[in-house]
Amino acid sequence: MGGGEIKPEPAQRRKQSFLTEIADVSLFISRTLKETFSRGFEFREFLRQCFQIGYKSLPLISVTGIIMGLVLTIQSRPTLVHFGAVSMLPGMVALSLIKEMGPVITALLCAGKIGSGMGAELGSMRVTEQIDAMEVSSVNPMKFLVVTRVWAATLMIPLLVLYADVLGIAGSWGGANIKGEVSFVLFFSQAFGHITFMDFFPAVVKTFFFGAVIGLVGCYKGYTAGRGTESVGIAANSAVVQASLLVIIVDLIAVQITDMLTS
Amino acid sequence: MKTKGTIDSTRLSAIKSSTVIEISDLKKSFGEQHVLNNISLQLLTGENLVVLGKSGSGKSVLIKCIVRLLVPDSGTIKVLGEDVGGLNDNALRVLRMKIGFLFQSGALYDSMTVGQNIEFPLRRIKKGITRKDTEDKVKEVLEQVGLPDTADKMPSQLSGGMRKRISLARTIVVDPAILLYDEPTTGLDPATSAEISALINDIQIKYKTSSIIITHDIACARITADRLIMLKDGEVFKDGTVDTFEKSDDAPITSFFK
Protein backbone atom coordinates (compact mmCIF):
# COMPACT_ATOMS: atom_id res chain seq x y z
CA MET A 1 0.00 0.00 0.00
CA GLY A 2 1.22 3.48 -0.85
CA GLY A 3 1.79 6.24 1.59
CA GLY A 4 -1.47 8.04 0.80
CA GLU A 5 -4.22 9.09 3.19
CA ILE A 6 -5.68 6.21 5.19
CA LYS A 7 -9.38 5.97 4.42
CA PRO A 8 -11.71 4.55 7.10
CA GLU A 9 -13.33 1.16 6.57
CA PRO A 10 -17.07 1.17 5.67
CA ALA A 11 -18.10 0.05 9.18
CA GLN A 12 -15.94 2.75 10.72
CA ARG A 13 -17.40 5.34 8.31
CA ARG A 14 -20.93 4.30 9.30
CA LYS A 15 -19.99 4.67 12.97
CA GLN A 16 -18.49 8.11 12.33
CA SER A 17 -21.55 9.16 10.37
CA PHE A 18 -23.86 7.91 13.14
CA LEU A 19 -21.89 9.81 15.78
CA THR A 20 -21.88 12.94 13.60
CA GLU A 21 -25.65 12.67 13.23
CA ILE A 22 -26.07 12.36 17.02
CA ALA A 23 -23.90 15.47 17.50
CA ASP A 24 -25.88 17.37 14.85
CA VAL A 25 -29.21 16.43 16.42
CA SER A 26 -27.96 17.48 19.87
CA LEU A 27 -26.80 20.82 18.49
CA PHE A 28 -30.11 21.29 16.71
CA ILE A 29 -32.10 20.62 19.90
CA SER A 30 -29.90 22.91 22.00
CA ARG A 31 -30.16 25.67 19.38
CA THR A 32 -33.94 25.29 19.27
CA LEU A 33 -34.10 25.66 23.06
CA LYS A 34 -31.72 28.62 23.01
CA GLU A 35 -33.70 30.41 20.30
CA THR A 36 -36.96 29.71 22.17
CA PHE A 37 -35.83 31.76 25.12
CA SER A 38 -34.02 34.51 23.22
CA ARG A 39 -35.81 37.78 22.46
CA GLY A 40 -38.40 38.18 19.70
CA PHE A 41 -40.64 35.09 19.72
CA GLU A 42 -42.49 34.85 16.39
CA PHE A 43 -45.95 34.70 17.94
CA ARG A 44 -47.98 35.17 14.76
CA GLU A 45 -46.15 32.35 12.99
CA PHE A 46 -46.57 30.20 16.12
CA LEU A 47 -50.35 30.77 16.02
CA ARG A 48 -50.40 29.99 12.30
CA GLN A 49 -48.60 26.72 12.97
CA CYS A 50 -51.00 25.88 15.82
CA PHE A 51 -53.83 26.35 13.33
CA GLN A 52 -52.08 24.22 10.70
CA ILE A 53 -51.14 21.43 13.11
CA GLY A 54 -54.19 21.51 15.38
CA TYR A 55 -57.21 22.66 13.41
CA LYS A 56 -56.24 21.13 10.09
CA SER A 57 -55.69 17.72 11.70
CA LEU A 58 -59.16 17.61 13.23
CA PRO A 59 -60.92 15.69 10.42
CA LEU A 60 -58.30 12.93 10.43
CA ILE A 61 -58.21 12.66 14.22
CA SER A 62 -62.04 12.77 14.45
CA VAL A 63 -62.53 9.85 12.11
CA THR A 64 -59.71 7.85 13.66
CA GLY A 65 -60.88 8.54 17.22
CA ILE A 66 -64.44 7.41 16.57
CA ILE A 67 -63.36 4.27 14.71
CA MET A 68 -60.82 3.44 17.41
CA GLY A 69 -63.53 3.40 20.11
CA LEU A 70 -66.02 1.64 17.90
CA VAL A 71 -63.70 -1.17 16.87
CA LEU A 72 -62.33 -1.67 20.38
CA THR A 73 -65.88 -2.02 21.71
CA ILE A 74 -67.13 -4.34 18.98
CA GLN A 75 -64.11 -6.64 19.40
CA SER A 76 -64.05 -6.63 23.22
CA ARG A 77 -67.76 -7.05 23.81
CA PRO A 78 -68.09 -10.83 22.97
CA THR A 79 -65.26 -11.74 25.36
CA LEU A 80 -66.71 -9.62 28.16
CA VAL A 81 -70.17 -11.10 27.55
CA HIS A 82 -68.61 -14.57 27.77
CA PHE A 83 -67.25 -13.76 31.24
CA GLY A 84 -70.39 -11.92 32.29
CA ALA A 85 -68.44 -8.70 32.64
CA VAL A 86 -70.11 -6.57 29.99
CA SER A 87 -70.69 -3.79 32.53
CA MET A 88 -66.90 -3.36 32.61
CA LEU A 89 -66.89 -2.45 28.91
CA PRO A 90 -67.04 1.38 29.23
CA GLY A 91 -64.29 1.47 31.84
CA MET A 92 -62.06 -0.94 29.94
CA VAL A 93 -62.39 0.96 26.70
CA ALA A 94 -61.85 4.32 28.40
CA LEU A 95 -58.72 3.04 30.16
CA SER A 96 -57.30 1.56 26.94
CA LEU A 97 -58.00 4.72 25.01
CA ILE A 98 -56.73 7.22 27.56
CA LYS A 99 -53.64 5.32 28.70
CA GLU A 100 -52.34 3.89 25.46
CA MET A 101 -54.35 3.69 22.28
CA GLY A 102 -55.43 7.31 22.06
CA PRO A 103 -51.98 8.84 22.66
CA VAL A 104 -49.98 6.37 20.56
CA ILE A 105 -52.32 6.10 17.57
CA THR A 106 -52.90 9.87 17.47
CA ALA A 107 -49.16 10.50 17.75
CA LEU A 108 -48.40 8.01 14.97
CA LEU A 109 -50.99 9.65 12.73
CA CYS A 110 -49.48 13.05 13.53
CA ALA A 111 -45.98 11.71 12.82
CA GLY A 112 -47.28 10.82 9.36
CA LYS A 113 -49.25 13.97 8.67
CA ILE A 114 -47.35 16.67 10.55
CA GLY A 115 -43.84 15.19 10.58
CA SER A 116 -43.85 14.55 6.84
CA GLY A 117 -45.38 17.98 6.20
CA MET A 118 -42.64 19.71 8.17
CA GLY A 119 -39.91 17.63 6.54
CA ALA A 120 -41.20 18.30 3.03
CA GLU A 121 -41.95 22.01 3.58
CA LEU A 122 -38.63 22.90 5.21
CA GLY A 123 -36.78 20.58 2.83
CA SER A 124 -38.21 22.35 -0.21
CA MET A 125 -37.47 25.71 1.40
CA ARG A 126 -33.85 24.58 1.78
CA VAL A 127 -33.67 23.36 -1.83
CA THR A 128 -35.17 26.56 -3.26
CA GLU A 129 -32.87 28.71 -1.11
CA GLN A 130 -35.75 30.23 0.86
CA ILE A 131 -34.01 29.44 4.16
CA ASP A 132 -30.81 31.07 2.87
CA ALA A 133 -32.88 34.08 1.77
CA MET A 134 -34.22 34.43 5.31
CA GLU A 135 -30.75 34.18 6.75
CA VAL A 136 -29.23 36.85 4.51
CA SER A 137 -32.13 39.20 5.16
CA SER A 138 -31.24 39.11 8.87
CA VAL A 139 -34.21 36.94 9.83
CA ASN A 140 -33.34 34.05 12.09
CA PRO A 141 -34.78 30.99 10.29
CA MET A 142 -34.37 28.77 13.36
CA LYS A 143 -36.57 31.12 15.33
CA PHE A 144 -39.11 31.68 12.58
CA LEU A 145 -39.37 28.19 11.12
CA VAL A 146 -38.18 25.69 13.71
CA VAL A 147 -39.04 27.12 17.13
CA THR A 148 -42.61 27.95 16.09
CA ARG A 149 -43.24 24.52 14.57
CA VAL A 150 -41.70 22.53 17.41
CA TRP A 151 -43.68 24.39 20.09
CA ALA A 152 -46.89 24.30 18.08
CA ALA A 153 -46.53 20.51 17.74
CA THR A 154 -45.64 20.15 21.43
CA LEU A 155 -48.78 22.00 22.49
CA MET A 156 -51.25 20.87 19.82
CA ILE A 157 -50.64 17.11 19.88
CA PRO A 158 -51.75 16.73 23.55
CA LEU A 159 -54.95 18.61 22.64
CA LEU A 160 -55.50 16.37 19.63
CA VAL A 161 -54.96 13.30 21.83
CA LEU A 162 -57.56 14.51 24.37
CA TYR A 163 -59.95 15.18 21.50
CA ALA A 164 -59.33 11.70 20.07
CA ASP A 165 -59.90 10.16 23.53
CA VAL A 166 -63.28 11.85 23.93
CA LEU A 167 -64.38 10.90 20.43
CA GLY A 168 -63.08 7.36 21.00
CA ILE A 169 -65.30 6.99 24.06
CA ALA A 170 -68.21 8.44 22.08
CA GLY A 171 -67.47 5.90 19.33
CA SER A 172 -67.39 3.17 21.95
CA TRP A 173 -70.84 4.26 23.15
CA GLY A 174 -72.00 3.98 19.55
CA GLY A 175 -70.49 0.47 19.36
CA ALA A 176 -72.16 -0.56 22.62
CA ASN A 177 -75.49 0.55 21.23
CA ILE A 178 -75.24 -1.69 18.19
CA LYS A 179 -76.13 -4.74 20.30
CA GLY A 180 -77.89 -3.23 23.26
CA GLU A 181 -79.06 0.05 24.64
CA VAL A 182 -76.97 2.16 26.98
CA SER A 183 -77.71 5.79 27.72
CA PHE A 184 -74.98 8.28 26.86
CA VAL A 185 -74.81 9.64 30.44
CA LEU A 186 -74.63 6.17 32.00
CA PHE A 187 -71.94 5.04 29.56
CA PHE A 188 -69.77 8.12 30.18
CA SER A 189 -70.19 8.00 33.95
CA GLN A 190 -69.21 4.31 33.95
CA ALA A 191 -66.27 5.04 31.65
CA PHE A 192 -64.88 7.90 33.70
CA GLY A 193 -65.70 6.16 36.98
CA HIS A 194 -62.79 3.81 36.35
CA ILE A 195 -60.24 6.52 35.54
CA THR A 196 -57.97 7.79 38.30
CA PHE A 197 -55.63 10.75 38.27
CA MET A 198 -52.64 8.44 37.85
CA ASP A 199 -54.23 6.87 34.79
CA PHE A 200 -54.81 10.22 33.18
CA PHE A 201 -51.85 12.39 34.20
CA PRO A 202 -48.86 10.31 32.91
CA ALA A 203 -50.76 9.67 29.67
CA VAL A 204 -51.16 13.40 29.12
CA VAL A 205 -47.56 14.19 30.07
CA LYS A 206 -46.15 11.74 27.54
CA THR A 207 -48.13 13.34 24.72
CA PHE A 208 -46.15 16.58 25.17
CA PHE A 209 -43.00 14.53 24.54
CA PHE A 210 -44.63 12.90 21.51
CA GLY A 211 -45.37 16.37 20.15
CA ALA A 212 -41.84 17.61 20.81
CA VAL A 213 -40.34 14.52 19.15
CA ILE A 214 -42.54 14.85 16.06
CA GLY A 215 -41.81 18.59 15.75
CA LEU A 216 -38.08 18.22 16.30
CA VAL A 217 -37.62 15.28 13.93
CA GLY A 218 -39.76 16.87 11.19
CA CYS A 219 -37.94 20.20 11.45
CA TYR A 220 -34.48 18.63 11.74
CA LYS A 221 -34.96 16.47 8.66
CA GLY A 222 -36.33 19.35 6.60
CA TYR A 223 -33.93 22.01 7.84
CA THR A 224 -30.87 19.88 7.20
CA ALA A 225 -32.05 18.50 3.85
CA GLY A 226 -29.55 18.37 1.02
CA ARG A 227 -29.61 20.58 -2.07
CA GLY A 228 -31.29 18.33 -4.65
CA THR A 229 -35.03 17.82 -5.11
CA GLU A 230 -34.54 14.17 -4.20
CA SER A 231 -33.60 15.27 -0.68
CA VAL A 232 -37.10 16.71 -0.13
CA GLY A 233 -38.58 13.22 -0.51
CA ILE A 234 -35.87 11.74 1.67
CA ALA A 235 -36.49 14.39 4.36
CA ALA A 236 -40.25 13.78 4.39
CA ASN A 237 -39.87 10.02 4.40
CA SER A 238 -37.20 9.83 7.09
CA ALA A 239 -39.13 12.33 9.23
CA VAL A 240 -42.13 9.98 9.30
CA VAL A 241 -40.10 6.82 9.90
CA GLN A 242 -37.89 8.27 12.63
CA ALA A 243 -40.65 10.23 14.36
CA SER A 244 -42.87 7.13 14.45
CA LEU A 245 -40.07 5.01 15.85
CA LEU A 246 -39.23 7.63 18.46
CA VAL A 247 -42.89 7.91 19.51
CA ILE A 248 -42.87 4.17 20.25
CA ILE A 249 -39.57 4.45 22.14
CA VAL A 250 -40.77 7.46 24.17
CA ASP A 251 -43.95 5.51 24.95
CA LEU A 252 -41.92 2.57 26.21
CA ILE A 253 -39.85 4.85 28.44
CA ALA A 254 -42.97 6.66 29.69
CA VAL A 255 -44.68 3.36 30.56
CA GLN A 256 -41.61 2.19 32.47
CA ILE A 257 -41.39 5.43 34.43
CA THR A 258 -45.13 5.40 35.19
CA ASP A 259 -44.89 1.80 36.33
CA MET A 260 -41.99 2.64 38.64
CA LEU A 261 -43.87 5.60 40.11
CA THR A 262 -47.16 3.77 40.68
CA SER A 263 -45.97 0.35 41.87
CA MET B 1 -24.06 46.65 -28.50
CA LYS B 2 -23.82 49.64 -26.17
CA THR B 3 -21.78 49.13 -23.05
CA LYS B 4 -22.62 50.82 -19.79
CA GLY B 5 -19.93 53.48 -20.11
CA THR B 6 -21.41 54.69 -23.36
CA ILE B 7 -24.95 54.71 -21.99
CA ASP B 8 -24.66 56.84 -18.91
CA SER B 9 -21.50 58.61 -17.86
CA THR B 10 -23.17 60.17 -14.78
CA ARG B 11 -23.41 56.75 -13.19
CA LEU B 12 -19.74 56.15 -13.64
CA SER B 13 -18.92 59.49 -12.03
CA ALA B 14 -20.75 58.31 -8.89
CA ILE B 15 -18.15 55.58 -8.39
CA LYS B 16 -15.71 56.52 -5.66
CA SER B 17 -12.31 55.14 -4.89
CA SER B 18 -13.35 53.91 -1.43
CA THR B 19 -14.04 50.20 -1.14
CA VAL B 20 -17.16 48.59 0.28
CA ILE B 21 -15.99 45.01 -0.11
CA GLU B 22 -12.38 43.91 0.09
CA ILE B 23 -11.50 40.24 -0.38
CA SER B 24 -7.97 38.97 0.18
CA ASP B 25 -6.52 35.53 -0.55
CA LEU B 26 -9.87 33.77 -0.31
CA LYS B 27 -9.82 29.98 -0.49
CA LYS B 28 -12.74 27.59 -0.40
CA SER B 29 -12.78 23.87 -1.07
CA PHE B 30 -15.48 21.21 -0.94
CA GLY B 31 -13.62 18.01 -0.10
CA GLU B 32 -11.01 17.46 -2.77
CA GLN B 33 -12.50 20.11 -5.06
CA HIS B 34 -10.78 23.50 -4.76
CA VAL B 35 -13.41 26.02 -5.86
CA LEU B 36 -11.79 29.30 -4.88
CA ASN B 37 -8.04 29.58 -4.96
CA ASN B 38 -6.50 32.78 -3.60
CA ILE B 39 -9.16 35.18 -4.83
CA SER B 40 -8.52 38.86 -4.11
CA LEU B 41 -10.81 41.64 -5.30
CA GLN B 42 -12.36 44.94 -4.31
CA LEU B 43 -15.79 46.44 -4.86
CA LEU B 44 -15.72 50.23 -5.02
CA THR B 45 -18.47 52.46 -3.66
CA GLY B 46 -21.25 52.91 -6.21
CA GLU B 47 -19.86 50.49 -8.78
CA ASN B 48 -21.45 47.52 -10.53
CA LEU B 49 -18.83 44.78 -10.61
CA VAL B 50 -19.71 41.89 -12.89
CA VAL B 51 -18.09 38.53 -12.13
CA LEU B 52 -17.96 36.31 -15.20
CA GLY B 53 -16.96 32.71 -15.44
CA LYS B 54 -18.00 29.31 -16.64
CA SER B 55 -20.44 27.22 -14.63
CA GLY B 56 -18.64 25.72 -11.65
CA SER B 57 -15.96 28.40 -11.59
CA GLY B 58 -16.94 29.43 -8.05
CA LYS B 59 -18.89 32.63 -8.76
CA SER B 60 -21.85 31.80 -6.55
CA VAL B 61 -19.58 30.39 -3.86
CA LEU B 62 -17.75 33.73 -3.83
CA ILE B 63 -20.83 35.82 -3.02
CA LYS B 64 -22.13 33.24 -0.55
CA CYS B 65 -18.83 33.61 1.31
CA ILE B 66 -19.34 37.39 1.39
CA VAL B 67 -22.58 37.04 3.40
CA ARG B 68 -21.17 34.03 5.31
CA LEU B 69 -23.72 31.57 3.98
CA LEU B 70 -20.53 29.60 3.32
CA VAL B 71 -17.48 29.83 5.53
CA PRO B 72 -14.18 30.21 3.63
CA ASP B 73 -11.23 27.94 4.40
CA SER B 74 -8.86 30.90 4.58
CA GLY B 75 -8.51 34.52 3.56
CA THR B 76 -10.31 37.65 4.72
CA ILE B 77 -13.49 39.37 3.57
CA LYS B 78 -14.12 42.92 4.71
CA VAL B 79 -17.58 44.36 4.08
CA LEU B 80 -18.11 48.03 4.92
CA GLY B 81 -14.93 47.82 7.00
CA GLU B 82 -16.05 44.80 9.04
CA ASP B 83 -14.19 41.50 8.92
CA VAL B 84 -17.05 39.09 8.11
CA GLY B 85 -15.23 36.05 9.50
CA GLY B 86 -14.71 37.64 12.92
CA LEU B 87 -18.30 38.78 13.53
CA ASN B 88 -20.52 37.21 16.17
CA ASP B 89 -24.12 36.27 15.27
CA ASN B 90 -25.61 39.63 16.25
CA ALA B 91 -22.97 41.69 14.45
CA LEU B 92 -23.37 39.49 11.38
CA ARG B 93 -27.14 40.07 11.46
CA VAL B 94 -26.58 43.83 11.63
CA LEU B 95 -24.15 43.69 8.72
CA ARG B 96 -26.52 41.55 6.64
CA MET B 97 -29.17 44.28 7.02
CA LYS B 98 -26.97 46.41 4.78
CA ILE B 99 -26.56 43.72 2.13
CA GLY B 100 -29.21 42.61 -0.35
CA PHE B 101 -28.90 39.20 -1.98
CA LEU B 102 -30.82 38.24 -5.11
CA PHE B 103 -30.91 34.45 -5.42
CA GLN B 104 -30.73 32.68 -8.75
CA SER B 105 -34.10 31.02 -8.11
CA GLY B 106 -35.65 34.18 -6.68
CA ALA B 107 -36.21 32.30 -3.38
CA LEU B 108 -39.65 33.83 -2.81
CA TYR B 109 -41.49 32.41 0.19
CA ASP B 110 -44.12 30.10 -1.34
CA SER B 111 -46.57 30.33 1.55
CA MET B 112 -46.77 34.14 1.44
CA THR B 113 -48.27 36.58 -1.04
CA VAL B 114 -46.01 38.96 -2.95
CA GLY B 115 -46.88 41.77 -0.53
CA GLN B 116 -46.11 39.58 2.50
CA ASN B 117 -42.82 38.49 0.90
CA ILE B 118 -41.74 42.11 0.62
CA GLU B 119 -43.02 43.07 4.08
CA PHE B 120 -41.26 40.13 5.69
CA PRO B 121 -37.71 41.55 5.90
CA LEU B 122 -38.96 45.13 6.21
CA ARG B 123 -40.96 44.52 9.40
CA ARG B 124 -38.10 42.65 11.00
CA ILE B 125 -35.28 44.96 10.05
CA LYS B 126 -37.08 48.30 10.48
CA LYS B 127 -38.66 47.58 13.83
CA GLY B 128 -41.45 49.95 14.82
CA ILE B 129 -42.35 50.81 11.23
CA THR B 130 -46.05 51.72 10.97
CA ARG B 131 -48.57 49.79 8.87
CA LYS B 132 -49.02 52.83 6.61
CA ASP B 133 -45.26 53.23 6.05
CA THR B 134 -44.94 49.52 5.33
CA GLU B 135 -47.72 49.64 2.75
CA ASP B 136 -46.22 52.75 1.14
CA LYS B 137 -42.78 51.17 0.96
CA VAL B 138 -44.15 47.94 -0.55
CA LYS B 139 -46.06 49.98 -3.12
CA GLU B 140 -42.95 52.02 -3.93
CA VAL B 141 -40.70 49.04 -4.57
CA LEU B 142 -43.35 47.21 -6.57
CA GLU B 143 -43.68 50.29 -8.80
CA GLN B 144 -39.88 50.47 -9.03
CA VAL B 145 -39.73 46.93 -10.43
CA GLY B 146 -42.69 47.58 -12.73
CA LEU B 147 -45.22 45.26 -11.07
CA PRO B 148 -47.50 47.56 -9.08
CA ASP B 149 -50.60 45.32 -9.03
CA THR B 150 -49.12 42.06 -7.84
CA ALA B 151 -49.16 42.49 -4.04
CA ASP B 152 -51.98 39.99 -3.54
CA LYS B 153 -50.68 37.36 -5.93
CA MET B 154 -48.97 34.16 -4.76
CA PRO B 155 -45.46 33.40 -6.10
CA SER B 156 -46.84 30.36 -7.94
CA GLN B 157 -48.94 32.73 -10.08
CA LEU B 158 -45.87 34.61 -11.35
CA SER B 159 -43.69 34.03 -14.40
CA GLY B 160 -39.91 33.59 -14.11
CA GLY B 161 -39.19 37.21 -14.95
CA MET B 162 -41.85 38.45 -12.53
CA ARG B 163 -40.40 36.30 -9.75
CA LYS B 164 -36.98 37.84 -10.34
CA ARG B 165 -38.47 41.35 -10.21
CA ILE B 166 -40.40 40.63 -7.00
CA SER B 167 -37.30 39.10 -5.49
CA LEU B 168 -35.44 42.27 -6.41
CA ALA B 169 -38.21 44.35 -4.82
CA ARG B 170 -37.86 42.32 -1.61
CA THR B 171 -34.12 42.89 -1.68
CA ILE B 172 -34.25 46.67 -2.14
CA VAL B 173 -37.13 47.32 0.25
CA VAL B 174 -34.73 47.57 3.20
CA ASP B 175 -32.46 50.08 1.39
CA PRO B 176 -29.26 47.99 1.32
CA ALA B 177 -25.91 49.62 0.63
CA ILE B 178 -24.63 46.57 -1.24
CA LEU B 179 -26.45 44.27 -3.64
CA LEU B 180 -25.25 40.80 -4.60
CA TYR B 181 -26.93 39.35 -7.68
CA ASP B 182 -26.59 35.61 -8.27
CA GLU B 183 -27.22 35.09 -11.99
CA PRO B 184 -30.11 37.57 -12.23
CA THR B 185 -30.98 36.74 -15.86
CA THR B 186 -30.54 32.97 -15.91
CA GLY B 187 -33.51 31.17 -17.41
CA LEU B 188 -35.10 34.31 -18.86
CA ASP B 189 -35.73 35.19 -22.50
CA PRO B 190 -33.46 37.87 -24.07
CA ALA B 191 -36.07 40.63 -23.82
CA THR B 192 -36.82 39.99 -20.15
CA SER B 193 -33.08 39.63 -19.46
CA ALA B 194 -32.50 43.08 -20.96
CA GLU B 195 -35.32 44.51 -18.81
CA ILE B 196 -33.84 42.99 -15.64
CA SER B 197 -30.38 44.30 -16.60
CA ALA B 198 -31.81 47.80 -17.10
CA LEU B 199 -33.57 47.50 -13.76
CA ILE B 200 -30.25 46.68 -12.08
CA ASN B 201 -28.86 49.96 -13.46
CA ASP B 202 -31.95 51.92 -12.37
CA ILE B 203 -31.62 50.54 -8.85
CA GLN B 204 -27.93 51.42 -8.77
CA ILE B 205 -28.81 55.05 -9.50
CA LYS B 206 -31.94 55.41 -7.36
CA TYR B 207 -30.71 53.54 -4.26
CA LYS B 208 -27.00 54.41 -4.67
CA THR B 209 -25.99 50.80 -4.26
CA SER B 210 -22.70 49.05 -4.91
CA SER B 211 -23.23 45.68 -6.56
CA ILE B 212 -21.57 42.42 -7.46
CA ILE B 213 -23.37 40.74 -10.34
CA ILE B 214 -22.59 37.09 -10.93
CA THR B 215 -23.46 36.05 -14.45
CA HIS B 216 -22.45 34.18 -17.58
CA ASP B 217 -24.93 36.21 -19.63
CA ILE B 218 -22.69 38.49 -21.67
CA ALA B 219 -25.59 40.77 -22.70
CA CYS B 220 -26.35 41.41 -19.02
CA ALA B 221 -22.65 42.04 -18.35
CA ARG B 222 -22.45 44.58 -21.19
CA ILE B 223 -25.46 46.51 -19.88
CA THR B 224 -24.67 46.50 -16.18
CA ALA B 225 -20.89 46.35 -15.76
CA ASP B 226 -18.78 49.28 -14.64
CA ARG B 227 -15.98 46.76 -14.25
CA LEU B 228 -15.61 43.07 -15.03
CA ILE B 229 -13.73 40.23 -13.42
CA MET B 230 -13.35 36.82 -14.96
CA LEU B 231 -12.84 33.77 -12.76
CA LYS B 232 -11.03 30.75 -14.10
CA ASP B 233 -9.97 27.69 -12.11
CA GLY B 234 -10.88 29.47 -8.89
CA GLU B 235 -8.66 32.47 -9.57
CA VAL B 236 -9.13 35.97 -10.97
CA PHE B 237 -8.12 35.55 -14.60
CA LYS B 238 -8.71 39.13 -15.74
CA ASP B 239 -9.95 42.41 -14.27
CA GLY B 240 -10.97 45.36 -16.45
CA THR B 241 -13.70 47.32 -18.22
CA VAL B 242 -16.05 45.95 -20.86
CA ASP B 243 -13.86 47.55 -23.55
CA THR B 244 -10.70 45.79 -22.37
CA PHE B 245 -12.56 42.49 -22.33
CA GLU B 246 -13.98 43.10 -25.83
CA LYS B 247 -10.46 43.76 -27.15
CA SER B 248 -8.81 40.85 -25.37
CA ASP B 249 -7.46 37.92 -27.36
CA ASP B 250 -7.27 35.54 -24.40
CA ALA B 251 -9.12 32.34 -25.25
CA PRO B 252 -11.31 32.11 -22.10
CA ILE B 253 -12.49 35.69 -22.70
CA THR B 254 -13.05 35.41 -26.42
CA SER B 255 -15.22 32.35 -25.77
CA PHE B 256 -17.61 34.72 -23.96
CA PHE B 257 -17.29 37.87 -26.06
CA LYS B 258 -16.95 36.68 -29.64
Q: Is the pLDDT of residue A238 over 80?
A: yes
- CB count within 10 Å of CB B166 equals 25
C-beta atoms of A140 and B108 within 8 A: no
Q: Is residue B106 part of a domain?
A: no
C-beta atoms of B107 and A129 within 8 A: yes
The three-state secondary structure class of B187 is coil
Report the alpha-carbon distance of residue B137 to residue B118 in Å, rounded. 9
Q: Are B1 and B222 in contact (CB under 8 A)?
A: yes
pLDDT mean over A141-155 = 96
Report the alpha-carbon distance of residue A122 to residue B110 in Å, rounded. 11
DSSP secondary structure of A167-213 = HHHHHHHHHHTTTS---HHHHHHHHHHT--HHHHHHHHHHHHHHHHH
Angle between helices B190-207 and B160-172 (to 10 degrees): 10
Percent of chain A with pLDDT over 90: 69
**To the nearest whole angstrom, how far is the Cα of B158 from the nearest Cα of chain A?**
16
Q: Is the pLDDT of residue B226 over 60?
A: yes
Q: Is residue B167 part of a domain?
A: yes
Q: Looking at residue A7, what is its pLDDT? A: 55
- Looking at per-residue pLDDT, the higher value among A138 and A222 belongs to A222
Q: Is the pLDDT of residue B2 over 50?
A: no
Q: Is residue B245 part of a domain?
A: yes
Q: Is the pLDDT of residue B158 over 80?
A: yes
Q: State which residues form the domain around B46.
A: 19-98+176-258
Query: B240 and B193, same structural domain?
Result: yes
CB proximity B164 to A under 8 Å: no
Query: B67 and B53, same structural domain?
Result: yes
Q: φ and ψ at A226, to 5 degrees? A: -75, -170
Q: Is residue B42 part of a domain?
A: yes
Q: Is residue B9 part of a domain?
A: no
Which chain A residues touch B69 with a CB distance below 8 Å? 132, 135-136
Runs of H (alpha helix) within chain B: 4-7, 9-13, 59-66, 89-96, 114-125, 131-144, 160-172, 190-207, 218-224, 242-247, 251-257
- Looking at per-residue pLDDT, the higher value among B26 and B57 belongs to B26
**To the nearest whole angstrom, how far is the Cα of A57 from the nearest Cα of chain B?**
19
Choose from A75-79, A153-157, B93-97, B101-105 the range with maximum mean pLDDT: A153-157
- Residue at B168: amino acid letter: L
Percent of chain A with pLDDT over 70: 96
**To the nearest whole angstrom, how far is the Cα of B245 from the nearest Cα of chain A?**
32
C-beta atoms of B105 and A139 within 8 A: no
Query: B257 and B183, same structural domain?
Result: yes
Query: B180 and B94, same structural domain?
Result: yes
Q: Is the pLDDT of residue B70 over 60?
A: yes
Query: B187 and B166, same structural domain?
Result: no
Task: Please compute, for residue A151, the number of CA atoms within 13 A of its CA located in the half-sphere on the CB side.
Answer: 20
Q: Is the pLDDT of residue B242 over 50?
A: yes
Reported as type and span, the H/E element at residue A67 is helix A58-82
**To the nearest whole angstrom, how far is the Cα of B254 from the nearest Cα of chain A?**
33
DSSP secondary structure of B2-21 = --HHHH-HHHHHT--SSEEE
Q: Is the pLDDT of residue A168 over 60?
A: yes
User: Looking at the partner chain, which of A132, A139, A140 has a beta carbon nearest the beta carbon of B103?
Assistant: A132
C-beta atoms of A138 and B94 within 8 A: yes
**Average pLDDT score over chain A:** 91
Query: B200 and B155, same structural domain?
Result: no
HEC string of A121-166 equals HHHHHHHCCHHHHHHHCCCCHHHHHHHHHHHHHHHHHHHHHHHHHH
Which chain A residues touch B64 with a CB distance below 8 Å? 132
Percent of chain B with pLDDT over 90: 55
Q: Is residue B2 part of a domain?
A: no
CB proximity A51 to B under 8 Å: no
Q: Is residue B154 part of a domain?
A: yes
Q: Looking at residue A161, what is its pLDDT? A: 97
Best CA proximity match to B37, nearest among B57, B14, B11: B57
Q: Is residue B14 part of a domain?
A: no
C-beta atoms of B104 and A129 within 8 A: yes
Edge-to-edge strand list for the sheet holding B178-182: B99-102, B178-182, B210-214, B48-53, B227-232, B235-240
